[in-house]
Chain A
Amino acid sequence: KAGVTQTPRYLIKTRGQQVTLSCSPISGHRSVSWYQQTPGQGLQFLFEYFSETQRNKGNFPGRFSGRQFSNSRSEMNVSTLELGDSALYLCASKRGDATNEKLFFGSGTQLSVL
């Protein structure tokens, strides 16, 4: 069974640009969450989607948005990029919407904003 797939693996953008990251969950998983990871800050929760609906949202500005498609694939968009947005963006999937299910993480997209 394939794991969580994130594309692209690496991305370099300049300030002011926008970026779209993609996540394909494990087959059969309907919940997708996004996290931002920076050194020393751990994993900061961005949002969670289940069956195309946003279930939870973290404390990030409106420049960060996401969506989920009917096949459970998810995309995350960041507009008007800032230097501080440089980070590893991790996607995680789980089968259902129960809070106590374990997360399966993808390898992440390393975003560098110059």
Chain B
Amino acid sequence: GQQVMQIPQYQHVQEGEDFTTYCNSSTTLSNIQWYKQRPGGHPVFLIQLVKSGEVKKQKRLTFQFGEAKKNSSLHITATQTTDVGTYFCAGIVNTGKLIFGQGTTLQVKP
């Protein structure tokens, strides 16, 4: 079936280091969305990418959508303790379903 794989599952970094999570789909995606879930909280929408090769930035966060629209990445520059949480990608497939990746849990050591 259609799957969205996300790696790594966990990442521990020292505050100030960079962090990247990758999302790969078995099929071409219409769009891809990214969400952040703080510990004990619920997912909150961060951004949506639509175009092939699209790159969007939100302060220290950089989001990319692959040329083939099958992969995406989220890069955080100079992590801070406020970045702690689980980051989910969610791809929209041609059936209209939104399929979430398993998430990457980020821990930041001060």
Query: In the complex, which residues of chain B have a beta carbon less than 8 angstroms from the beta carbon of A102?
Result: 33, 45, 48
Number of A-B contacts (CB under 8 A): 57
**B99 engages A99 (CB within 8 Å):** no
Query: In the complex, which residues of chain B have a beta carbon less than 8 angstroms from the beta carbon of A92?
Result: 43
The interface on chain A, measured as residues whose beta carbon lies within 8 A of the other chain's beta carbons, has a size of 22
The interface on chain B, measured as residues whose beta carbon lies within 8 A of the other chain's beta carbons, has a size of 26
Q: In whole Å, how far is A106's beta carbon from the nearest beta carbon of chain B?
A: 6
**A99 engages B43 (CB within 8 Å):** no
Query: In the complex, which residues of chain A have a beta carbon less than 8 angstroms from the beta carbon of B102?
Result: 40-42
Query: In the complex, which residues of chain B have a beta carbon less than 8 angstroms from the beta carbon of A35?
Result: 100
Interface of A is mostly: strand
Interface flags for B92-109 (1: CB within 8 Å of A; 0: not) read 100111111111000000
Could you tell me which residues of chain A, from 33 to 77, have a CB within 8 Å of some CB in chain B? Answer: 33, 35, 40-45, 55-56, 59
